[in-house]
Structure 1
Amino acid sequence: MPHSPTATGTGDLPGAGLVPLLTTLLADLLGTEIEPDQDFFAAGGDSLTAIQLCSAAGAQGLELRLADVLVAPTVQQWADLLADRAAGDAPAAASGTAESARVPLTPTLHDFLEEFGSTRHHRNLVGVFRPLPAVGELELPAIDLAALERALARLVARRDSFRLRIRPDGAGWRQESVAAGAAVVPVERYRYEGEPADGPAYVEELASAAQRRLDLGDGPTGRVLAVESPGFTRLVLILHHLVADGLSWPLLVGELGEYYEQERAGLPVELPAAGSFADWAAAAVGRAGRPEARAEQQWWVDQPWEQAAPLPLDHPELRGSSTAAAEVFEWTELDPARTAALAEAVRRRPELTLPDVLLAALAAACDWAEGRPVLLKTVGHGRPAWPGTAPEATTGWFSTHCPLLLPTGGADSAERLAAAVAARTAVGEGGTGFGLARYLGPPEVRAELAARVSWDAAIDFNYLGTLRASAAGPFEELDEPAGRIFDPAHLVPCPIRLTSYLAEGSLVTRWMTSGPLWERSTVHRMQRRYLAALEDLAALLGAETAHPAAVADQADGADHADHDERTTS
């Protein structure tokens, strides 16, 4: 829950007083309490959790930076650092670019436009919320549209990712940030007359239509739908991916909820300083020209991409029919008890991460590769702690795509796990350097990587961490459908997309596979081998042996699941 307008900042909290607050924030993220002098990473933390911690601390008025967590990884060190920082001169608040300005395209946006150029306006994140009743009351409150519109205006002024615009420019694209007054997130009000039980379907229909009415060139890049009746009230927040990725989403939702509460109470209070996506974009371009980046560009060129095994597609001739609408959604799952045992085993091995285990399981599932590596399109949060930047306080689309050659030739689970760790750790900064090389490097480097690395031959691999409903102050986020997050006619490059996450204590992997390209029997065989490999890995790491869960075929539920991708994609 975001802090209230009367919450105190670091100036009122000495270092000792910050420890309980930081410990509580961290326990909410890790699912377990740690001691003030316990190493954050040894306790199961990672860079993704570190970014979430910085965002949660920022909502409490604490200026905890990503670099702080990475360099001094204990609660006590953070508390001391924050107390020292509060004793100095506070930096001036920043709210991004105030007036119109040219903004360079980041590698993430180059990648997006390369794939989604013709359908660029429809690539969204969406959430469905309902207002919470006041304490001691049962009736749902009405949505105060005037307060909501004022809150949105303040959020747009604060966050320059709302004000980014992309238009064709000759043979390429041009991005700029427009002035705060030129960007609006419209609120649309609908009166629902049907039965409450049928309300979610009505909201999904409205949201599906609204998602097709965003515009990257002229705006808006976000919409809000307010649907009300005496027994049914919903608020739908639709943002283009340009505005937010999965880590930006809860930050924006929390700030909108806080601004809304302030506007209803008539007590506007400014939030801590915000970072600027325009500044981040400029830093990325500058980073691509540094000597160390040039050296890494050559590393990417030197990788043996041609050794990757081709995917064993059953019907490669149907590639032109492999659209988003033709994807089949299925889930595999380990139950909470087995998941907890596996997670605890990983925590006891500081050199391992849960994604390493998932990679090793995937390697076992790819026995068709006959010992050759498999090309993965891995998804990262895209927020390295570069000097002079504050990615944890900035919203926008940071998440990156990076190729990884996953070894599959291990004789057993132990060898596959070691190979997965080695492959992952060989890539620095979560793979951010690949995007710098592929899209901002010298022309010859860009051309070679474009020719040798194709997502059409890759498996999309994404780990989201723990899924949680976003804290929205007076609103509660619901798991209800809101339509497709991108155009159903969009051609999906990766024939297999895997998204794994922890939800309600279970380790879940969502398989999104091309209906035209695969026979179901081929996909189900991979799923069975994947789950069996997870069982073997759990046993290897000292966890209780788990039995593979059944595969749940949920092709008809694709729309319902789409919005979950926002966590990092």
Structure 2
Amino acid sequence: LSGLLPDYMLPGYYISLPQLPLTGNGKIDRQALPEPGEQDAGRSTAYAAASNDMEALMVQVWEAVLGRTGVSVNDNFFEIGGDSIKSIQIVSRLRKYGYALSVTDVLQFPTPAEQALQTVELLYDGVTQQLSGNVPLSPAQRSFLENEKLVKGHFNQSVLLFSRETISEDAIHAVFRLICRHHDALRLRFEQQDGIWTQTYSDTDEAFSITVHDWKNRDVADAVTLLEAAGGSLQEGMLLHEGPLVRLGLFRLADGDRLLIVIHHLVTDGISLQILLEDIAALYRQYLQGEALELPAKTDSFKHWMEQLNSYALSPVLLKEQAYWEKTAAVITDPLPLDYPAGQNLVKDTQTLVCRLTKELSQQLFTEVNRLLHSEMDDVLLTALGLALRDVFGMRKVLVSMEGHGRQPLAGQADISRTVGWFTSIYPVVLDIAWPDDPGQQLRGVKETLRAIPDKGIGYGLLKYLDKQESTPDYFNRVPEIRFNYLGQFNDTVLAEKEHAYFSFSAEPKGNEVSETSEREVVLELTGIVFNGVLSLDLAYSTGQFRSPTMEKLLSALEERLVSLIRYGTSVTEVQITPQDLGDAELSMEAFNNLFK
């Protein structure tokens, strides 16, 4: 059946009957058909063990990426928590074992058994070319560098790692020398001349710095306070034209060591950070065990990807997207009402409220809800956000700035599954919250809106920053007040190497990643992340623009709407599909619904 029907139309259960029950006139007696149940029916994804080494490796990779055990070779990637971000991580992990698989293959062949058949062995000659010269800027880099309201040298991504064992300073030096040689983007430097920004590769020896503090004789609480201050110093004042743009802080405390890794956002993003953490864990283990330091074969460089994007920006295929973005910009949307319309919106005024789902609800969302509603995390979270905005502020048409991973397969065959750089795509979406009393219909409407976006929005930034037009079209001038970013799923396995984790994540304060004097880019920002199987939503706003009770009310409405959507998704008895699932972008939801009346 899988060769004849799309995944969402495949039966969830199979029941073997000696014959079909018939009515008196010879037709099938549907009332007499047995109900599917766990006792008398096997699921189409009943557990099946790996039958060969390649399938066993695929199961191992899936379990590591999805953070679960007991994966069957017949499990469907999307039904057990997979998404586009995790498809990249699967490809990246496979390369560690010397095998290649494309992201497209992961999406088109959604079981370990099928993917094992598509996997090929990598041919690696051990030669690592060190790149030099200029690199075209990505749309995300251009957007940042041309924003005069941001402090350029203080805009980072960082992570604080903890180890009960003493962290070897020599090992960290050796690990990051290879990391910065292998991942060329970490050596990029930025310079502005005559108002034009450029980026160029620097020498490997200048790629990172390390500062060591020994506070083992101090009280741990006092040392943590010192760590936050030292971390703040590492976070600020990076010189984009000189570097290094990678700074390390090694802190020795009485209860264990900490390693702070600070990387300027210009040369990394969320997926890149996961790649780097996996490589750091692998190389650190190799060093301590006396092995030669070795990383998987390099994928295509950030420079190569950007050269491809520059060519694609001039293609007729991309130019066809202009009509879509013009239509999006023409929609009249509702403004976000502020408590203090004249209030300032600086980073130092930021307040963040946090909502965490239970692990049970989180797991239901990743698996049952997304399977039965044929949805993705973005669909559900944006629907909950839109409904909450309508509940609290009465907004119906909501303009949102979406952040995506920006690694969609485009023209050419570049493999960037293990490439580090700032790939992020940022693009506008208009949510029409027309069905506040019908969560299922509203979710389907939002899902259709997101599916209609060409190539998940990557073309918007290309048209805005890389298209060689003399002037910027008007449809790029609208600036959304709300930003949404789903970062994907993280878990401690990213730091585990050969079943042993030398590091764990620390939630201790590590200094501000962004300068407090920078102006915030949006009024309201919702960020979703899954850590160790639990979904967290961070709602960030300015205390100069909103009262705390207003935002607490919004967060409460958001949580209530999200839980309601999960309850709805787990209550439906059959897969819910929309026109885009059938490949029909022209059919409206109203017309589609009428087909089933």
- 2:328 and 2:429 in contact (8 A); partners too: no
Q: How many angstroms apart in 2 are the aligned matches of 1:376 and 1:294?
A: 23
After superposition, the Cα gap between the structure-2 partners of 1:20 and 1:176, relative to the gap in structure 1 and judged at 3 Å, is: same
Confirm or deny: 8 A CA contact 1:148 1:260 kept in the other structure: yes
Matching residue of 2:320: 295
Quickly say closer, same or farther: Cα 1:231–1:502, change in 2 above 3 A. Answer: closer
State how far apart, in whole Å, the 2-side matches of 1:119 and 1:430 are: 29
Partner amino acid, structure 1, of 2:260: V
Work out the percentage of aligned pairs sharing the same amino acid: 25
The one-letter code sitting in structure 1 at the alignment partner of 2:570 is G
User: Which residue type is aligned with residue 400 of structure 2?
Assistant: L
Q: CA deviation at 1:354?
A: 2.6
Question: Given that residues 235 and 513 in structure 2 are in contact (C-alpha distance below 8 angstroms), is that contact kept between their aligned partners in structure 1?
Answer: yes
**Residue correspondence of structure 1 range 253-292 to structure 2 within 5 A:** 253-275=277-299, 276-292=301-317
Whether 1:541 aligns to 2:592 is no
Which structure has the larger Rg over C-alpha atoms?
Answer: 2
Measured in 1, the distance between the counterparts of 2:211 and 2:169 equals 9
Query: 1:331 maps to what in 2?
Result: 354
Post-superposition Cα deviations, 1:223-263, rounded to whole Å, max 9, x if no partner, equal: 11112255442211111112321111121122223323333
Tell me, in whole angstroms, the C-alpha distance in 1 between the residues paired with 2:65 and 2:280. 21
CA distance in structure 1 between the aligned counterparts of 2:551 and 2:253, rounded to whole angstroms: 44
The whole-number CA distance in structure 1 between the counterparts of 2:507 and 2:101 is 31
Q: Separation in 2 of the partners of 1:377 and 1:113?
A: 18
Contact 2:375–2:447 under 8 Å retained in 1: yes
Conserved? CA contact 1:119–1:487, under 8 Å: yes
Pair 1:414-2:447 in alignment: no
Residue 105 to residue 402, structure 1, CA distance change in 2 (3 Å): same
The alpha-carbon distance between structure 1 residues 73 and 444, as it changes in their structure 2 partners (threshold 3 A), is farther
Contact 2:160–2:260, Cα closer than 8 Å, also in 1? yes
Q: 1: CA distance between counterparts of 2:541 and 2:59?
A: 41
Distance 1:114 1:243, change over 3 A: same
Within a 5 Å distance, the mapping from 1:31-180 to structure 2 comes to 31-32=67-68, 33-82=70-119, 85-86=120-121, 90-92=123-125, 95=128, 98-115=130-147, 118-132=150-164, 140-141=165-166, 143-180=167-204
Judge which range, 307-316 or 108-117, deviates more: 108-117
Deviations along 1:64-116, whole A, 9 cap, x unmatched?
Answer: 3323313333212322232xx22xx71555756x2431110111111222336
Cα separation, 1, equivalents of 2:413 and 2:264: 27
1-side partners of 2:174 and 2:196: how far apart? 36
2:54 is aligned with 1:18: yes
Indicate how the Cα distance of structure 1 residues 15 and 63 shifts in structure 2: closer, same or farther if over 3 A, else same: farther
Give the whole-Å Cα distance in 2 for the aligned partners of 1:232 and 1:100: 39
Letter in 2 for 1:385: P
1:172, distance to aligned residue in structure 2 (A): 1.9
User: How far off is 1:215 after superposition?
Assistant: 2.0
Q: Secondary structure at the match of 2:558?
A: helix
Change (3 A) 1:459 1:283: same
Bigger mean CA deviation after superposition, 366-375 or 353-362 = 366-375
Verify the 8 A CA contact 2:352 2:538 in the aligned structure 1.
yes
The alpha carbon displacement at 1:371 in A equals 5.9
Deviations 1:34-66 (A, max 9, x none): 432343234432111101112222233333332
**Cα separation, 2, equivalents of 1:431 and 1:93:** 36
- Please tell me the root mean square deviation across aligned C-alpha atoms, in Å: 2.5
CA contact (8 A) 2:156 2:235 kept: yes
SS at match of 2:157: strand
TM normalised by structure 2 equals 0.80
Higher helix proportion, which one?
Answer: 1
Q: What secondary structure is seen at the aligned counterpart in 1 of 2:487?
A: strand
The answer (yes or no) to whether the contact 2:252–2:258 under 8 Å persists in 1 is yes
| Aligned match of 2:370 | 347
Partner secondary structure for residue 190 of structure 1: strand
Other structure's SS at 1:130 match: strand
Total equivalences in the alignment: 512
**CA apart distance, 1:31:** 4.2
Confirm or deny that 1:221 pairs with 2:258. Answer: no
Matched, 1:189 2:212: yes
Name the CA distance, whole Å, in 1 between partners of 2:152 and 2:398. Answer: 29
Letter of the aligned partner of 1:419 in structure 2?
G
Instruction: Call closer, same or farther: CA 1:445–1:405 in 2, change over 3 Å.
Output: farther
How much does 1:315 deviate? 1.4
Render the CA deviation track for 1:468-496: whole Å, top value 9, x for unaligned: 24416533332222111110111002111
Unpaired stretches in structure 2, ≥5 consecutive residues: 1-49, 573-597
CA distance in 1, matches of 2:255, 2:80: 45
- Seen in structure 2, the aligned counterparts of structure 1 residues 229 and 360 have a Cα distance that, compared at 3 Å, is closer
Q: Counterparts of 1:409 and 1:298 in 2: how far apart (Å)?
A: 24
Change (3 A) 1:42 1:345: closer
For 1:223 and 1:315, the matched residues in 2 are separated by 38
Q: Which amino acid aligns with 1:363?
A: G
Distance 1:420 1:93, change over 3 A: farther
Distance in 1, Cα, partners of 2:71 & 2:289:
37
Q: Is the 8 A contact 2:78 2:371 kept in 1?
A: no
8 A Cα contact 2:219 2:254, kept in partner = no
Q: Gaps spanning 5+ residues in structure 1: where? A: 1-13, 133-139, 545-569
1:9 aligned partner:
none
Shift in Å, 1:405: 0.4
Deviation at 1:123, TM superposition (A): 1.0
- Counterparts in 2 of 1:390-429, with a 5 A limit? 390-412=415-437, 413-429=439-455
| CA separation of 1:388 and 1:95: change in aligned 2, threshold 3 A | farther
